[in-house]
Chain A
Amino acid sequence: MAAQAPVKKKRKGILGTLALVAILIGLYWSLIAAPPDAYQGEVQRIMYLHLPSILTAYLSYFLVFIGSGMYLWKREKRDDILAHSAAEIGVLFTALTIIEGSIWGRTTWGVWWTWDARLTLTAILLLIYVGYLMLRSLIEDEDRAAVAGAVLGIIGFLDIPLIHMSVYWWRTLHQPPSILRPDKAPWENVHPTMLTALVISFIGFLLLYFYLLSLRYGLGETRAQIRARRLEQES
């Protein structure tokens, strides 16, 4: 255990450095190299942060689902730590997405917030997973909290398509997807440098995400170890 720790730490350090480098390159491409948008001008550059952060948040909720399912099935503590860590970082990235979107919306639509389908869906996601974190913090017994969280992690994820559908039928105003369109390949309808900037940003966000996840996961492991030691001493 003790011999492994420095290796792990080193790996995390490398991951963190890679994330930093990728994000810096991404910022260069998205702020300087890519041309401004034909209609929206400079403000459209928020997209290079907006899209990667929401995609990372979705990835996070998927990991919560996987971790929760694995925990209920195998009852291994590590799956629960993974789900809990992913939920926390997912909430962070969802909140970031909403803030960035709000700034973007203010300049292009003229309002900070509007009840458009995708905005509403993102806000609901935030509420569900904030609920998840609150649920976990309000249950004293760690194992019970893990089971309760796992159930909510599974049900919340299964509910997302239904919420998505209902909110879409309810209303939609958001600009239609401009990158992932069904009728054209991505490289046909946007400037290639824009696409490159977006891809680099996304890679940067992914690296950052996994860096944060590994830190949070390590924290969860340490907490579990402390708890186990304490139980040992008491008994």
Chain B
Amino acid sequence: MEILRQAGLVLRKDLLLEWRRRDSLLTMFFFGALLLFVFHFSFDIEPDRVAAMTPALLWLSFLFTGTLGLTQIFQPERENHCLDALLISPLDRGAFFLAKSGFNLLLMMVVEIVVIPLFWILFNLPSWNLLPQLFLVNLLGTMGFCVLGTIMSAITLRARARELLLPLVLFPLMIPVILATIRCMESIMRVGAIGDASPWLRLLIGFDVIFLTVGVLIFDWVIES
């Protein structure tokens, strides 16, 4: 429980910073919305193809906005040697990891809460009743993304061209999450329930659990002053 309390403290600090500056949230939100416009100009979605196209397009935009957020995630710690100070303090590194991935998850969820309905409006989709279910599946997918993304963001922290490097190492590892989330969403869009896609849902949950555990255990070594 101590680890959760510490994670809560760091998370609170990050949320407070974000609330005062609103850097990441605003850029991520506008980038997400901008992508929807770009998609709309690039594709004409016909009504019978909506179930097949929507999940993929939505996830592409989340993937890009999420990566944008991840490259910034350790920014507050980079300034004024704050990372060193945090590491000197008796803070559990696992808690630090939980806080950082939690922070990114919250940011992305806020973006998704706005972008998904916006997608429905822009593409004239009628199926508003499916949104809560879609949102839940997205939560699981986003969690996997944030967990693994936080680890990758931490190891690329000191690299040259890290903004370019991060998606390069992260995206291949994310393939199970991308496939599973899109398949679950497709099934929801088609039949209104997870239905046949339940193995995908289990895979998604498995991925989240595995890498959340690995992250907490490994972060001790990942982050060094």
Contact = CB atoms under 8 A, between A and B. Distances in A.
Given A135-B155, A135-B159, A138-B160, A124 B172 contact: yes
Nearest to A124: B172
Interface residues of B, number: 33
Interface stretch (B10-18, B52-60, B202-210): B202-210
7 contacts: A124-B172, A128-B169, A131-B169, A132-B169, A139-B158, A139-B160, A140-B158
Contact of A170 (B179, B207, B222): B179
Interface string B78-111: 0000000000000000000000000000000000
Interface in A144-166: 144, 147-148, 150-152, 154-156, 158-159, 162-163, 165-166
A95 interface: no
Given A148-B156, A148-B159, A151-B155, A159 B176 contact: yes
B179 A138 contact: no
Contacts, number: 92
Contact of A131 (B172, B183, B200, B214): B172
Contact of B176 (A72, A138, A163): A163
A169 interface: yes
A169 B200 contact: yes
A159 B159 contact: no
A124 B171 CA distance: 10
B161 interface: yes
Interface range, A side:
20 to 34
A134 B172 CA distance: 14
A162 B210 contact: yes
A155 B207 CA distance: 12
B148 A155 contact: yes
A155 B165 contact: no
B210 A158 contact: yes
Nearest to A132: B169
A168 to B, nearest CB: 10
Contacts of B222: 147-148, 151
A155 B169 CA distance: 11
A156 B169 CA distance: 9
A18 interface: no
Contacts of B159: 135, 138-139, 148
A156 to B, nearest CB: 7
A134 B158 contact: no
Interface string A120-138: 0000100110011011001
Nearest to A130: B168
A232 interface: no
B160 A124 contact: no
Given A151-B155, A155-B211, A131 B179 contact: no
